[in-house]
A and B are shown apart, each in its own frame.
Chain A
């Protein structure tokens, strides 16, 4: 099929960017979206133009690196997937597709579609861990039984891949789904209780410092999240923070 692409081009962090039009043809419906981008880039290189920079790595929906805003949605129109898992059969011959970077003040553009998500790392560094030495001299893994329900729920929260689709989607660029997921994982496990108070306070403080917006509970993040992280994780984080302050 043939497609018209409108893609954000920006030379570097300080340059002014703009939408640029490209045409691609001979696109197979079995291609993944990123393979379509590969085809475009090969064409651009052959023509002596600068290829489009975009983040990607595992191409199987788990590393969280790919991050495109396609036709007005994070990771495009399909559900429960990342950009790399989006396939061209979701589009029709002759379609115009707009491709933009994930936008948020806390995610500055580095080049074209590549953004800097190090704010997420800093939030994790503020408390997204359990302070246990890696000596291996811990107690036996089965010493503290954990209910299957809690373990499964913790796992559901822990599946977050840190892609930032929640921030990109949220009309307020809020990172609460991301932070809520991490806070929830530890809040649900006995190992996480010791530092629970400081963890949630510090992580929320860092989140605010990074310049993410506030949550207005539109629920858009939950819909666009490739891993289906639930809004309940945000509610739990709210509870945890209230508990921490009382």
Chain B
């Protein structure tokens, strides 16, 4: 593969590969979270497994972290390079005439998602590290469900959460098919992929939002 990832197309493929990984992760994440709606016990069990299994903790988690950082950093680099490819901008540009808002603003939907991830890390991950390694509290395999429910009590948090996921929806609305296109998917699969992409971009964020709303209204 000598030099492949140095080429523009290679970078695009790298972007797509990391996107595939993250999109797969989103499915797992949503599935686990969704159990909280149906069964507190199952949710606790899965969360505990995820939180304590060494394979998940020390192999998959760093890979995930790397995937997230890689996708963001490469995204920024590409955006910066692409901006450089047009030094004088148009006096009048009618982008809406030929492309969707989401396809032109992946950078901004991405930034909102990034902002959300920062909060998300502060809420859960920092908390986890604190519980497990710093203040080392006694292992409580049932704490996860309560912690989750507690987070969705304030309405502002639910709103912010929903907004972030709507932006994720828009990001995926372009990103899903875009990743396949970058990987060179053939013309024959185009229509099926577009439909699948639309479904994915709606179902994933909607799932997360439903969970938030469910817990907010159910425990108030």
Interface string of A15-42 (1 = CB under 8 A from B): 0010100000000000000000000000
Nearest-Cβ distance from residue B116 to partner chain A, whole angstroms: 22
Tell me the count of chain B residues lying within 8 A, CB to CB, of chain A.
45
Contact status of A105 and B84, CB under 8 A, knowing A217-B177, A217-B181:
yes
B94 at the interface (CB under 8 A from A): yes
Residues 204-225 of A contacting B (Cβ, < 8 Å): 204-205, 207-208, 211-220, 223-224
> Is the Cβ of B97 less than 8 Å from the Cβ of A72?
yes
B92 at the interface (CB under 8 A from A): yes
B86 at the interface (CB under 8 A from A): yes
Residues 153-195 of B contacting A (Cβ, < 8 Å): 174, 177-178, 181-187, 190
Nearest-Cβ distance from residue A241 to partner chain B, whole angstroms: 5
> Is the Cβ of A213 less than 8 Å from the Cβ of B85?
yes
Nearest-Cβ distance from residue B79 to partner chain A, whole angstroms: 9
> Is the Cβ of B8 less than 8 Å from the Cβ of A71?
no
CA distance A104 to B7 in the complex (A): 19
> Is the Cβ of A232 less than 8 Å from the Cβ of B85?
no
Stretch in contact with the other chain, from A87-95, A123-131, A169-177: A169-177
Q: Which residue of B lies closest to A104 (CB)?
A: B86
Contact status of A171 and B94, CB under 8 A, knowing A105-B86, A216-B178:
no
> Is the Cβ of A214 less than 8 Å from the Cβ of B84?
no
Q: Which of B9, B93, B183 contacts A204 (CB 8 A)?
A: B9
CB neighbours of B1 from chain A (8 A): 245-246
> Is the Cβ of A208 less than 8 Å from the Cβ of B86?
no
| A-B CB pair tally, cutoff 8 Å | 144
Q: Which of B81, B82, B83, B88 contacts A103 (CB 8 A)?
A: B88
CA distance A6 to B92 in the complex (A): 10
> Is the Cβ of B86 less than 8 Å from the Cβ of A237?
no
> Is the Cβ of A72 less than 8 Å from the Cβ of B94?
yes
> Is the Cβ of B90 less than 8 Å from the Cβ of A72?
yes
Interface string of A216-246 (1 = CB under 8 A from B): 1111100110000011101111111110011
CA distance A174 to B86 in the complex (A): 10
Q: List 30 A-B contacts (CB under 8 A).
A: A6-B92, A8-B91, A19-B91, A72-B94, A77-B97, A103-B86, A105-B87, A171-B99, A176-B8, A212-B8, A213-B82, A213-B85, A214-B81, A215-B8, A215-B12, A215-B182, A217-B174, A218-B103, A219-B98, A219-B99, A223-B98, A230-B187, A236-B184, A238-B9, A238-B183, A241-B4, A241-B7, A242-B4, A242-B13, A245-B3
